[in-house]
Each structure stands twice: as structure tokens, then as C-alpha cells.
Amino acid sequence: MSLASQTLIVTPTYNERKNIGELIEKLFAIDSDYHLLVVDDNSPDGTADLVEELGNTNPNIHLMKRSEKLGLGTAYIAGFKYAVEKGFDCVVQMDADMSHNPDDVPRLISEISENDLVLGSRYSTGVNVVNWPIRRLIMSYSANLYSRIVTGLPVKDATGGFKCWRREVLDAIDLDGVK
């Protein structure tokens, strides 16, 4: 069994109908064995409807519909719990807005065999962000610079949401206690 078939990619959505189809297409073009869990916070634009429609033709597309906008952090926690419950070995978290490059997913996964957590970074080789307003980019970059200075953390993208986790790490975290 390939690692890709034991990989769950978790992506929270709220009004991502214009992006989710492209993300799904790109991920499954890279490897059709991936599993994708879309955690939708009751998007008024019909994101969940599109995901459901695409899932009718691809059993590796999973949808978790939530009744209201509960936020990004709780969406990831719900996705992690799902991954642990279903026994996936590898969990990738990524945003649906295409700010994380689907082409980088295999690189994250390839590193997980020797690491417990792999971080994708928008800033390791300068600024590599597309489709962001300049204000959001400046705020993100400044927050990360501040984090490095204050904490001494050697990570350039501490606020990033592009990560790959080993299931054993998620098993060891009290996900219900995360705030």
C-alpha cells in the first residue's frame, strides 16, 4: 500500500467555491491515491455542494459539513480527529485558497518518513505568496518576524497552515484540549 493511499489532506473551507475545484483537480492529478477531507463551515456560496458533486465521482473526496462558521482552528482539529479515527498514517493540512501550492504536497509527504512534523513555508526562500493583498502579506510577514525575534524560534513561517503530520503525533496530542 502506498503512503499516498494512507494520506489524508485536510482543507477547511468557507466560501471557496471558486478555488476548491482547481485544488481538487490539481491534487488528484499529482496522485489519485490521496484522500481529501473538506471541512466546510456552511459556506453560503455552495462550496459544500460542489465538493459533494465531485465526491460522487471520486470516493477519495470526503466532506464534513458543519452547521455554522466555527473557524479555521476548529476545522483542522475536526479534520485531525477524523484522520486518527479513520487510521490515516499521514495528514497534510492546507488552505483551499491556493495560497499553498499543491505541487509541494509530495515533498511534504516524502519528508514525513524521517520526521514527525514537516512545515511548508511561504518565506524560506524569500516571499512566495500569490493571490494575497499586500496588507495581508505585510501582516503575515511581520508577525513571523516578530515571532522569531521574541521566541528565538528558527522557523520562518510560524503562522503557516501548510503542514504534514505523522498520525502518531496527532494521537499523542489531546485534540479536545487544544484552544
**Secondary structure string (H, E, C) spanning 87-150:** CCCEEEECCCCCCCCHHHHHHHHHHHCCCCEEECCCCCCCCCCCCCCHHHHHHHHHHHHHHHHH
**Cell representation of residue 125:** 526562500
In this prediction the pTM is 0.85
Q: What is the pLDDT of residue 108?
A: 94
Rounded CA-CA distance 177/179 in Å is 6
- DSSP letter (8 states) at residue 43: -
Phi and psi angles of residue 64, each rounded to the nearest 5 degrees, phi first: -115, 110
Asked whether 22 and 49 are in contact (CB, 8 A), the reply is no
Confidence of residue 2 (pLDDT cuts 50, 70, 90): confident
Give the least confident one: 61-70, 96-105, 139-148: 139-148
pLDDT tens-digit profile of 41-59?
999 999 999 999 999 999 9
User: pLDDT per residue over 118-155, tens digit each?
Assistant: 988 655 555 555 566 677 666 766 765 676 677 776 66
